[in-house]
Structure 1
Amino acid sequence: MNADNSDSKKNIFNLDLKLDNKLMDSVYKSIQPALEKVIGVPGLMDIYNGAVAQNDPDKFSDAILRHMDIKCEISEQDLARIPKNGKIVVVANHPFGGIEGIIMGAILQRVRPDVKIMANYVLSVIPEMRDLFLFVDPFGGPSAARANLATMKSTISWVKDNQMLGVFPSGEVSHLKWGSRKIIDPPWSDTISKIIRKTESQVIPMFFAGNNRMIFQIAGLLHPRLRTALIPRELINKRGSAIEIRVGNVIPWSRLKKIQSEKELTEYLRHRTYMLENRPASEHKPGIVEKIVNCGLEPLIDPVDPELLYNDVEQLPESQLLLSSGEMEVYHAAYKQIPNIMREIGRLREHTFRATDEGTGKPIDIDEFDSYYQHLFVWNKEKNELVGAYRLGRTDNIIKCFGKKGLYTTTLFNIKSSFFDEINPALEMGRSFVRPEYQRSFSPLLMLWRGIGHYVAKYPKYKILFGPVSINKEYQSSSRQLMVTFLKIHNYLPELAAKVKARTPFRSRKIKGWDKKHSKRIISSIDEVSEVVSDLEWDDKGVPILLKQYLKMGGKLLGFNIDPNFSDVLDGLILVDVTKTDPKIMERYMPREKLMKFHELHKSDAYTKDLPKSKPTENLVETE
């Protein structure tokens, strides 16, 4: 419905009242113009008339924003997160009490036309907005209950018909909480959870950055109705402002249905929305502000001649070829066997780590540990080039020759000798990389892990894998904190962790919008954490692949350290007991027969019950 030119001059926001008492009615009419001016009715009418004058009733939200000169700051990445079809519920915080509903409508209608937004019935006075809004009465009473029930039925029908719904579940504007000194939404209504359950809809969280002026917050502390009376003026003063909107990833119904109660589901959605507050503002994203590259970094050494690399590989005994697949081969070797390969490993380590703001800053990443560690590397035999590598430290040999200080891990953590008494013999793993040109495919990383599996099969006494796994500085501090918090709750070994102390401990900080107690109940997997991390990161990255890989193998964390010699990367000390890794996962990396022999050697019956029995074999443990 559109207001014609004459209707647009009518004051649709008037405060007309008809009082039974004639005297009081007369008094009210005499002060009504002044009251409307105080509240801001003339300003609202100016906005309305300016939007109507644009003669664009189908995009009235855009017309209002244009007339008010409001800039909506939303990235193309965030817009792309909004599905163009299918049923979807968009939940958002309610910081301003008015303009965010108009902005939400404009954004969603830019993506698709089938949009409805639940809104306060007082907005029904705007004819041009009636097709966009589904109206509810938050003020209560029998008539309100009947009207809201009808709206609820219409809403559920709308979503079930594979259309989009936008909701501000608080139903009330964000305001200052005296106890917490925070400006935040009041508790969200569980009505949103009922709608989602009845429609089995997926959900998108949307966060509006900012809040109303402090005079608005103080007025609300004096009386809630004062706050309500000031909402029109808060809308008017948004003229000429820029409002940032952040959109999270789609949360599928398959994830939401696992949350038992409506209360917990509502809280989960609220947390997912407010977690978006931790994402950096658009002006701080890499690429928005020019990034200074190679500042303070020494130039890398030149690439090693491919012929020299080929000669190193050709001179290795055939027994050190762990596996081959297509053009890829995986070898293990000692430092002195592959001097040219090692030089190229050092160059490519530094090159790869610098791409993620890590690295030593030196021309080559080679240290004193390399000389006596084993090196596992993937070789492209067609191109005669190195693809990626891992460094393996055999703790029994190293501790025997150099003591525990001979292990790289002890440069990051103070570790009691009793720790090694408990895990020996073990493989310390680290310095892993896949050169950037090969990172578009998962195959090189898979080949590295298959190489590790074959190495453990070749030397099956090493049932324990441990070492630092990195979370680089490219992650927001809130993302790193979130991962650490989750891992300490769900993937920690307190007994062994008591024997480990970080040399530069990671300092925990409170994350905005994150309730640790509540989240412990409803976020139970690293994949769920990865979804939240992806919401916070400007480039959508989730939990590091290598960390997820260790966790899938049953990895447990023992501590967290900041490495000042490696670009302040956050290292988690992780430990994997291969005898406790799900055999179905290990079969991806180790041949089935060798996996059975490995479990038989370690008498891990609990992990071989689903595997067929094999015949006894001799020479299971090979000498070095």
Structure 2
Amino acid sequence: MLSVENAFAEKFPAFFADAPRLIRQPIIEVLRRLFRETSVNEFLQHNQGVAGVEFIDKVLEYFSVSYSISNTSRENIPVSGRVVIFANHPLGALDALCLIKLVSEVRSDVRIVANEMLTHLEPLGQILLPVDAFAGASTRLQLQAIQSALEDEQAVIFFPAGEVSRVRPVGVRDTRWNDGFIKYARRTSSPLLPCYIDARNSAFFYGVSALNKPAAGLLLVNEMFRQRARNLPIKVGELIPADVIQKDKRPRAVLLKQVKKHLYRVGKNRSNLFPVEQSIAHPESRQRLKAELAAGQCLGKTHDQKSIYLMQYQPDSTVIKEIGRLREISFRKVGEGTGQRRDLDRYDQDYEHIVLWDDADLEVVGAYRVRLGSRASDDLYVSSLFELSADFAAYSAHGLELGRSFVQPRYWGSKALDYLWQGIGAYLYYNPDVRYLFGPVSLSNAYPRGAVNLIVHFYTVYFGRGDSLVEPRLPYRMSRQEKNELVDIFRGDDYKGEFKQLKHLLRHYQVNVPTLYKQYPEVFAPQGVQFLAWNIDEDFGACIDGFLMADLSHLKPSRRKRYIDCHAETGPISHP
């Protein structure tokens, strides 16, 4: 229950200890009226046992307050992953509750940084991250809790003003902002999400505020009761990527001013001041996914009952949209991606898709995009990155292009990639004329240049071809000095030993050899793998693509048996 007397006694202990009762008690009575203590406690009594978002629902219902938001704005709220949400603060309480409710409809892990006074409303305790400038040593624990929430991949809401908006010469706007939210975004590499709330308090409140700001603060609870039956329009802007804020070297005050201006431009539908990227699309219906996959071709099941499907493109396909969504999640996680809501392009319509499905959790685990190279080479995705010589037609005629492979992050470290290869093996079993696998294998532009140089040099030394079978459209080039620094590192006569050396050198850059770069030499004999050229893909996070070609006649016997020959027997794929 709310006790105005106890709350103010905690904040101003000296006054409550020293002031005579004749002075103290009338002040308390006035404060009780201003804070509607009786009405608030009647509400709390009626909703005992209700907490969290359910409690917020009850509050909004009590005041008949709602909010409105466009579908586009709602889609800008990321479904998962750490994010710093910052907003203007026009009302003082109901705006915060509406914003929490909105975000909670997209994801359940929403928290809000709030003044410690709000923690006296115990039903909100599980959502609040309290801060108090007067808390002394405990403040460090409170601030650590905010950082921990972001490191736990939660969504944390900040009101940088720390107090309600006031009338300014340009209208109702926030007062001076605190830059704490930017510090947390930088410290935790979190993107920023601007949310503009279109609302205002009464003219009486702003009049009192102009005369005496602290006095106006005492009216805020009363202002809540004035907001009955209101609708608050909310606009959510696009994400400001974490690296944009990380790399901004302007003075903190200048950066803060620009971020604030960016938010108010969102509210006016004006152009962004910072580079933005679209939030990843929200998940597709699990029921529709399951039904659509069931209508596809099942290539088999794994020993842990995951299913592998071969899917053809269909207009407005739920499966294809979910694949595009999960691709973007997976590639952004490693510094790549398109920056769009889904990673889909025109090639998806002409390709087949090998999909790994987890029926227990109703999740697309991962997928490969495949296409027989016997079709016109100009229509191959890889031809948008590399020029294919006339001689390459002899390979593509008996080839299968692989690309856009991914395993969604929650399944990293599992057997998902091996399961997808079982699906590729099933496809190859039913297409025995295929001898070559080819396609781009990407290196994230987030890798330091020195690390990229090491990987490119190593795979060129061991698996380079030395002719012009394919040419990059935008070549990845090393300077003469960079080449000279690398020339004596790898001699090309001890793959296992020098691969260990490569991994050791990459540790200095705090990166690893990408999974697919390790996978192909493990699956094929050395003469079966070639990296023909290196291209920069400016449309995909400026990643570096190695053109891989693998000869199935050099597939290791154990892998041939595991991936392809097993399909000669009837029954599902089943490997421990």
TM-score, normalization by structure 1: 0.45
When Rg is computed on C-alpha atoms for both structures, the one with the higher figure is 1
